Structure 1
């Protein structure tokens, strides 16, 4: 498939327009405008109710909190329509009459989860807990709790007709759908857990979320933190995966975290002050402080005015496809440090200037106990052995790994330059396999793209990632692609020759050596064709790899193993290429004293290039598959590394055997064709047709390169049989030259100097 530059630019433009999001608030019709206005009005009404709420007030018209657990126990079919008849809105207490939680779950949270007393000298918690934690999760109860009905307003539904301007009114309960429980239920007993925690210290104040300006809002930064909390849990085979993203509150003095998901049926932001104080400790103080934190976040971020259609669609999608979850987490205290020492650690991690801090011994952020509960699905899960390093420490580790990768790229560039210098003639580069370098080039190009994307996502690693992307891009798109262009150009006239041709022995026929009319394209057209293939293959490969991250684990692992194994078979095409070219054994090559012939008959790949490339490309795989604490959190599989290493060693062993014994040693003798030989006697008729020499030298032919006579071996003239047939060369197009002249010519161009027909390499 050929793709020219204009087509490639057009495809990139179409992909950009397809994946880019609309600017502003994303409204594209009157219907969407009305949808967004209804959402803003709803949130404004709820915030006004929240402003007037005190610690002793019950929830009123707050989405998702109109019913309590007791309400659903009393009447399972009750509707969550405010105001509910006979419901007490003037009081509030920490029990199931007023909360979404059953009493026994509240007791579990108070006695087993939030059980670590805070504020004591022995229990000091780090204020900065930005981290990515991993651990295990266990299903405690699935059908023991009664799910609470939560309606979704109908105005969230997309239009059924593009001519509609007004969304429908009313609301509906999705728990009445037949497959609602199947979509949401947790069916595995034990699984894996990932928790990502980031601090929400600054917020955008304008509708344009890409604006650089952010504003701080937390006046209680030393006591409370607002967090972005993302929890992923799944079974070990990843057949079932659940994700909950929420805004969470972190109580620094007590080491407690409360996070609740958000959707169109569960607007939990205004419930955080009440649920943060299930233990009845300093009731009014905790409520007031958390309420102030929420108000500052709401007002500073211009929460209502900055809502977009993307936010509305996300809320609606969360309501339809996910359970609502409430996370109660208790952190392990850093009892070995004082507050001043923790502050010094934070300062050194934020701005390293050599403070007396032992960075390598900073403990991980650990969850001592954790509980996850879904009020609308009735699911309870608990956390086990959840911990992870501080993000700053992980960034430092990743930076070191990236620097090592940069050194590996530099070494690969050096080895490739040495290899290019070794095969700097068409005859020598003709022996290189185009497909071997295509496989290597695909991996390097993919790495360049992934590094570039990662640089935009991880600003703290921007410089090393951009440098890595630049080096891998230079390696892939300039050096390797340029080398592949030369390889392709030298092999254009051999499109009909392959391993099957070799095994069938078709090259035995002299007719196959009759010069063919071959149009050799210039390098400009070849480069355009190869660059088009390169970028097209790169886009397809990256798309498939990116898509595989969402596949079930078993399928993803099969794809991963097959892809790695296939892409690390890059010496196999070279083995076939050596076989096709028929390189002589090392002993036979050394018998030839001609420097030119020795150069032409050398193995095409340098051994330092073979060994160096293999080691450089295998080291990352060994690291990922054998080091359990690798930065990618990849599973450990030593068996696969051993099998892959043996496979690479086997490829290198075959290449070495071809160097020692000849490239066709493993083929049966009868299947080895006799390739074209330039050294052969000629007929008298042939001599006459090519000039027949002069009166003084009747049995010579003029060499078209040096214009000097060439003595030839003529079968019918016995007097010429003393002429060494290796002193001249006869091309497939029947032109005759001095051996030295034609060998030097073929070192730069594989075309006949007389008729420009393609010449088979020596």
Structure 2
């Protein structure tokens, strides 16, 4: 019968609950979805018709005295049967009865023009800018209050959007930046092929064949540091004017037809004409494609949420945004243009050549990596506030430079380079692991390894494998580097299979492994300090192998009666039930299986992975604290090994090559995000946190070194841990009567046998060391090692002398490291016996069982 898969059930239950909790289809059913999709497409088709039938200046709400008066209504424009006041549009969110705070629309357009002039100059003589702005930028922002006040209670969503069932309409709206400042990350996808030419260039001075506008989309991540502390993402769609380097994007939802009214939010008439011509064509193509696939594709192509199906079925009210972005001119140093030839035409040609080189590398020389810089003005017409990037001229360059980042080609190159470097680091870890496995291939050496240290390494490689596998499924440009990381991490797990297969054996290692050495107290009081150096026969057999139960045969030879008594559970004499074929000896409880341990690893790895993904949306300081604690826990991999060394009285379990190499290799990928100023994740460098992490790892390595040199229990009270056999004891002459000296040293140390002692040639009286007043306190005894047959010099404390500092202190620790004494009182070279015990835990002379190192 196969063992029950309890862990598999738990993992399946967690995955099922996670899927149910995050499933967007918790509103309408399968049958109702197509009808809702058709209703949404009908509203969008109506909005597209309004865009086609309106002209420049049709949307000019005269809600503020400083705004210009709206243009007179066009009698030939019949949008619908609803009477729309002058200056408004029959679009959701652009109607007067919707009540959006359009009072500051003129202020928004004015700030957009100011931002453009500060960046590129006047429209007639502006500096050339990047033509393709696909990339990632990040910077700080400040919040400005609008002239009016709005909150969620200021709107009647039922009247604005009849037939839409909003979730949490009475609560505060999401994506509301309430703090005074924060950070913003912008990922732009500039569709270069989605360009359009104006049908009739009107007062633009542009050639008819010049592309003046193209479609663009962006994902904005806003961190509200001082307000709600939350981080939210939103999807925006809009238009990019390459020649001016300007972008206008907006969110779109059921209560705000942003993309259909975007041309009316532009600041110039040429922007309006080009964006209207572009959107009339692209929106119609998308609507036609969606109308043909109503049942197969229910998503909203212009949804503001990353999870568009969820927003379509169960929409939650959120703040809407209109974003104006101005691209800054590139640095002249990276364009390789002579100052005498730095006219706009040559600069524009250099920019075009550089962009072509980035997209299609040919090996052209470049001095520096191109930076992408832009400034942004964000306006929320329903929540009534502004967000402006921090930078000149209102702020000094030290306070901020607006939004700084890289073009998409270089950003993807940085990601790919880091992934390949990370894969190389994993390959180096695998090589170190292979060499370490050769050194820990025996039960003796394997027993020294800490189960939790090996688990941390295996768990980290497993999480890397899961993360890289998931990333490879959705990656496009970085798919090959991601696959390399996946293969490297999988290889690390395969190589660990040999070591991980022994994890159950390490986990089953009983806590009684340390040998209890509390034996008979020596008769001499001076020998109390070395009581741990004696192991009697009774102590060596304190945990003997349990004897086989006896087979009891009754005296009357009545086997049938005996079997009946055995069946009843007792014997006639009241003795324990004997072991028979019908009543076998119960097997000892089995330890954890490999599947159980791996099931725990999988559960912990998935939990950490999901928790880390969820931490991205936490408050910045909480998110930073979480990742710092996660890195601190990960880099504490040697702490369990330190405890293992103390518990088993083991000096060293891993080679120094493995310890130092693994420490450096596992710290190296983390150091990139803590120290690199221009890392691809835009993480703020934190040298303080990195110093703490590196220092903590350095301290662990030095503790392992101290354990190897001074002993694993050096400086610790004896009652903290169970007593264990000390292979490097202090040898004293007055331990002869108690049997404390090794065999071979007793005869030469006994009184009356000085002639048998072999002394060192440089010690005339056979003594070394000095106590108070220069008195010699130790003797050097010479004996042959039974393994290598070479001379072994052993320092022995004279009878009646106190523990000298030369032997009991740090210097004495190094002196005692030369020899090792077994519980059976045999003495060997330390290197010889350690090499022997790697393969066999028996004394080389008498074959007695030896406690592991």
- Structure 2 length-normalised TM: 0.64
- Residue 252 of structure 1 is matched in structure 2 by 242
Of residues 81, 104, 128, the one that matches 1:124 is: 128
| Partner Cα separation in structure 1 for residue 112 and residue 693 of structure 2 | 52
2:225 matches 1:228: no
Larger Rg: 2
Q: Name the structure 1 match of 2:465.
A: 448
Alignment of 1:76-155 (within 5 A): 85=83, 87-88=85-86, 100=102, 102=104, 104-106=106-108, 108-109=110-111, 111-115=113-117, 116=120, 122-142=126-146, 144=148, 152=157
Match of 1:39 in 2: 40
The separation in 2 between residues aligned to 1:315 and 1:749, in whole angstroms, is: 69
Equivalent in 318, 325, 333 of residue 321 of structure 2: 325
2:131 partner SS: coil
Q: 1:425 to 1:511 in 2, by over 3 A?
A: closer
Partner of 1:349: 358
- Distance (Å, rounded) in 1 between the aligned partners of 2:23 and 2:85: 45
Checking the alignment, whether the CA contact within 8 Å between 1:136 and 1:386 is kept in structure 2 is yes
In structure 1, stretches of 5+ residues that fail to align are: 60-64, 75-80, 157-168, 202-215, 585-602, 679-712, 714-721, 735-741
State the Cα distance separating 1:265 from its structure 2 match: 0.4
1:422 Cα offset (Å)? 1.5
Deviation at residue 630 of structure 1 after TM alignment: 1.9
Q: Which of 354, 365, 371 is the matching residue for 2:372?
A: 365
Separation in 2, partners of 1:501, 1:638: 49
SS of equivalent to 1:460: coil
Q: Is the 8 A contact 1:113 1:328 kept in 2?
A: no
1:590 — aligned with what? none
Matched, 1:314 2:303: no
Residues 665-701 of structure 1, C-alpha deviations (whole Å, 9 max, x = no match) = 22235667554699xxxxxxxxxxxxxxxxxxxxxxx
Aligned residues: 641
The CA deviation at 1:639 is 1.7
Residue from 569, 575, 599 that aligns with 2:642 = 575
In the alignment, the residues of structure 1 paired with residue 517 and residue 314 of structure 2 have an alpha-carbon distance, to the nearest angstrom, of 58
Q: Distance in 2 between matches of 1:490 and 1:103?
A: 70
Residues of 2 paired with 1:179 and 1:91: CA distance?
A: 28
Is this contact kept in 1: 2:56–2:264, CA < 8 A? no
What is aligned with 1:645? 694
The answer to whether the Cα contact below 8 Å between 2:7 and 2:600 also exists between their aligned partners in 1 is: no
Aligned to 1:593: none
Which of 414, 432, 435 is the aligned partner of 1:418? 435
Gaps of 5+ in 2: 70-78, 198-209, 301-306, 333-345, 391-401, 519-531, 548-586, 728-745, 747-755, 757-782, 788-821, 825-832
Deviation at 1:579, TM superposition (A): 1.7
Structure 1 residues 335 and 744: CA distance shift in structure 2, 3 A = closer
- Counterpart of 1:195 in structure 2 is 186
- Map of 1:403 onto structure 2: 420
Q: CA 1:231/1:545 → structure 2, altered by over 3 Å: closer, same or farther?
A: closer
> Contact between 2:514 and 2:723, CA under 8 Å: does it hold in 1?
no
C-alpha distance in 1 between matches for 2:284 and 2:692 = 59
Distance 1:122 1:423 in 2: 70
Q: Deviations over 1:305-328 (max 9, x none)?
A: 4433874641476651x2011112
Tell me which residue corresponds to 2:475. 458
Q: Is 1:472 matched with 2:489? A: yes
- Compared CA separation, residues 510 and 455, structure 1 to 2 (3 A): same
Distance 1:612 1:353, change over 3 A: same
1:400 to 1:288, Cα distance in 2 relative to 1, 3 A:
closer
Q: How does 1:231-310 map to 2 (within 5 A)?
A: 231-236=220-225, 239-276=229-266, 278-281=267-270, 284=273, 287-299=276-288, 305=294, 306-308=297-299
Counterpart of 1:609 in structure 2 is: 658
Give, in angstroms, the shift of residue 611 of structure 1: 1.0
**2:596 equivalent to 1:532:** no
8 Å contact from structure 2 (residues 249, 322) kept in 1? yes
Give the direction of change, closer, same or farther, for the CA distance of 1:499–1:533 in structure 2 (3 Å limit). farther
CA-atom RMSD in angstroms:
5.0
Q: Does 1:19 align with 2:22?
A: no
Where 1:269 maps in the other structure, the secondary structure is helix
Q: Deviations over 1:516-567 (max 9, x none)?
A: 55978999x8433332232222222222222222222222222222222222
SS at match of 1:569: coil
CA contact (8 A) 1:137 1:383 kept: yes
Q: Which residue of 2 aligns with 1:629?
A: 678
- CA displacement 1:679-725 (0-9 Å, x = unmatched): xxxxxxxxxxxxxxxxxxxxxxxxxxxxxxxxxx9xxxxxxxx9x99
For residues 385 and 642 of structure 2, the distance between their equivalents in structure 1, rounded to whole angstroms, comes to 58
Distance 1:22 1:68, change over 3 A: farther
Displacement after TM superposition at 1:132 (Å): 1.2
Q: Distance in 2 between matches of 1:350 and 1:452?
A: 27
In structure 2, C-alpha distance between the alignment counterparts of 1:480 and 1:501, rounded to whole Å: 36
Between the aligned partners of 2:386 and 2:515, the Cα distance in structure 1 is 62
Contact 1:750/1:761 (<8 A) preserved = yes
Matches within 5 A, 1:620-699: 620-669=669-718, 675=724
- Tell me the distance in 2 between the aligned counterparts of 1:240 and 1:672: 48
